Amino acid sequence: MTDSQVRPPLPPFTLETAIEKVRLAEDGWNTRDAAKVALAYSLDTQWRNRTEFATNREEAQRFLDRKWKKEHEYRLIKELWAFGGNRIAVRYAYEWHDDSGNWFRSYGNENWEFGADGLMERRFACINDMPIKESERKYFWPLGRRPDDHPGLSDLGL
């Protein structure tokens, strides 16, 4: 394992390091940079995302490329749900619109499993899309990282 392959914080997770890992994942996904985000996953990562499955980092990156070409103005908030050892469970919600300007808030839960190097080896996601009116949006920060003073999911009542 070389330093370039280590992705802190490393398991076993504490409350503080689990919260940090969740925020780092949120920050990464909010970049919408599939190549950069894919580096957080092991070469042989296993994913289930809705009805799609990925069995390696390259497939995960292609999935992310497709996702962010479809989901415009994507903004995500993740929140720690539970953790233990090398596993973390999160809940999240993100807002986006399609090519026709229809807005959605997508709600989901993910279960993550990490290797000793801190790379995510397994990711299982369950997601539901709820159509919303543009006036019902709650995420208004500039595209990119959510500002530290922006409310989280619980603060927003989500």
Q: What single-letter amino acid sits at 133?
A: K
Q: Which domains does the chain show, CATH number per domain?
A: 7-136 (3.10.450.50)
Q: How far is CA 146 from CA 4, 6, 39, 117, 124, in A?
A: 26, 25, 20, 26, 24
**Paired residues of 46 in beta bridges:** 122
Pick from 110, 121, 140, 116: nearest CA to 11: 116
Tens-digit pLDDT profile for the chain (158 aa)? 444 689 999 999 999 999 999 999 999 999 999 999 999 999 999 999 999 999 999 999 999 999 999 999 999 999 999 999 999 999 999 999 999 999 999 999 999 999 999 999 999 999 999 999 999 999 999 999 999 999 999 999 99
Predicted confidence (pLDDT) per residue in 21-66, tens digit: 999 999 999 999 999 999 999 999 999 999 999 999 999 999 999 9
* Residue 140 DSSP one-character state: -
pLDDT score recorded for residue 2: 44
Could you tell me the pTM of the whole model? 0.95
User: Which two three-digit tokens encode residue 108?
Assistant: 């989901």
